[in-house]
Amino acid sequence: MNKTKLFLYDFITNQKIKKYIVVIVLFFCAAFYFHKSNPEWMPGASAMSNIGLSIAFLTTMYSIFSYSTMDRIKAYLMLPCKKSEVFFSFVFAQYFSLLLERMSFVIIVAAFFVKTPITIIIYLLLSALITVMLDTTFLLSINKKKPVFATLSLAIIAGLYVLLTYSKNVIFNFSVLAVMLFISAAFVMMFEPKHLAIKRESKVKSNPFRRVNYFLVILTREKIVLVNTAAIVVVAGLFALISKETPFLSGIFWSIIAVNTPVTTMFSGDKALMRQEKMLPRHSRFMTGIYGTFLGIYFTIANAYVVLLFALLGRLSIYVILTGIVLAAIETGISLLLERKYPIRSWQKKQEVWRNPRKYILPIIVFIISFAPYLLNIT
């Protein structure tokens, strides 16, 4: 048994590799054509670094947490493997999956549209590896109930954002990244492999939201949903701080709020709930009403948070307020429509639900709506 690939085949298959190679080649051709047509378009080195870091941080976070709820990982942890072998295999699987499925596209954009592509690509590769290990540390610390390490992991992530945004000294940056890489690896090795598996603890009976809304209970009970939501809030805040007057980034952090896949797939990801709903009369819209109310509350609060960020940055305007109101309504409507009319079926692992391409529909729509006024010069 190749111990370095212990977890890899749960994330990557030969069929998936072939599929992504085709997609990456097509994306490369599209980026090449766009670059030839728009040679002056440059999003900025710090912007690309932070976009890559955000993708690595968010997607790896809920990938790790969702995978750690599976029974399969518990079987792997029972194998006679050294601690270092288990952690190396786990981090390698996450990192390889991240590079193939997400970071490869960011790297292609950086190669064409950044003035110093080689430097930025190395930044992206190193920061992605650091992020995978810090996300793993965050999972381990939550399961072990050591909030100090969870806080330190998030602090280092925040430090990465600051470093990649403001520091222009390449030698200094590589030195700091090397230190962060060593620290993050040391953090992981301070735990035991058994803490990679999440222990489910039902808190429904004592949950204060139980009488208010069932889906609010799920939001506060499930670690993956709660952690993913918190991570989105943090990353959106960081993007707001670095966006300044860049409309491209402003559109992105509106979109970040809309990409909370565990929230927008609560029916698709819960087969028991869907079975229970079938027991209700066909004309009943009880569960749809409860879920729609939950989505409305979530997106209203999320977009109000973005509006607050604009206000704190001194960029609040009637346009921003209207954008928040319109997006909250659109996000609620589209999420409810997709989940009730086009649910994700025939899945074996919940990861398959959260990785389904359907998750990109809402963020793309939000980005177009939030970015269109800048293109039309009506802001």
pLDDT of residue 38: 81
pLDDT of residue 248: 60
pLDDT of residue 166: 84
Joined tokens for residue 367: 């980005």
Which are the contacts of 109, defined by CB distance < 8 A and separation ≥ 6? Answer: 31, 43, 48
Alpha-helical regions (H) of the chain: 14-37, 45-67, 71-77, 83-98, 104-113, 117-144, 147-166, 170-189, 214-221, 223-243, 247-257, 261-264, 271-278, 286-312, 318-341, 350-354, 361-376
pLDDT digits (tens, 9 = 90+) for 82-95: 888 899 999 999 99
**What stretches in the chain show pLDDT beneath 70?**
1-4, 199-212, 223, 241-251, 280-284, 348-351, 373-379
Output the DSSP codes for 45-101. HHHHHHHHHHHHHHHHHHHHHHHTTSHHHHHHHTSS--HHHHHHHHHHHHHHHHIII
The amino acid sitting at 262 is P
pLDDT of residue 377: 61
pLDDT of residue 87: 92
pLDDT of residue 378: 57
Joined tokens for residue 268: 């698709």
pLDDT of residue 204: 45
